[in-house]
Amino acid sequence: MAKDEILSFFVQAANHHDFSTDITLHVKGALVTGTIISAASYFSNLKESISEENDIAKQLKEALEQAEESADSNQSDAEYIHLKNMATYVAESKTTPSDADLLWRGKLSEIDGFFLGRMSDEE
């Protein structure tokens, strides 16, 4: 499946020019809403979320550090979009998650559509 070139442009702007905007994605019948961030920021935030200090945690942090450095230097077309403060909406179920600042990574070629702006539970 081909990626949307406009969505790819937003991702490239985030990855290479510190661009960020709220967006809602249509993914296989679900809505995923959040704020676009760069791949490097995604890996950095993910690395910081690991609080353990054992050998496995250290290895994970090192791998995420390498991914962050690679993302910073990578100038090729993006394959993934990264969101912070995300929530998902599926049919009439409650949002997932409800009160968490979660990170999200999705494959650009699997996104069916998008609109700029966030969905909110607030009425």
The pTM (predicted TM-score) of the whole model is 0.84
Instruction: Assess if residue 99 is contained within a domain.
Output: yes
Instruction: Assess if residue 64 is contained within a domain.
Output: no
Instruction: Assess if residue 121 is contained within a domain.
Output: no
By the 8 A CB rule, do 87 and 95 touch? yes
Residue 72 carries which side chain, given as an amino acid letter? D
Instruction: Assess if residue 56 is contained within a domain.
Output: no
Instruction: Assess if residue 52 is contained within a domain.
Output: no
Q: What would the DSSP string read from start to end of 50-88?
A: ----SHHHHHHHHHHHHHHHHHHH--SPP-EEEEEEEEE
* Domains identified in the chain, total number: 1
CATH code where residue 81 lies: 2.30.30.100
Q: Centre a 10 Å sphere on the Cβ of residue 90 and count the other Cβ atoms it contains.
A: 14
pLDDT tens digits for range 70-111: 877 776 778 899 999 999 988 766 666 656 678 899 999 999
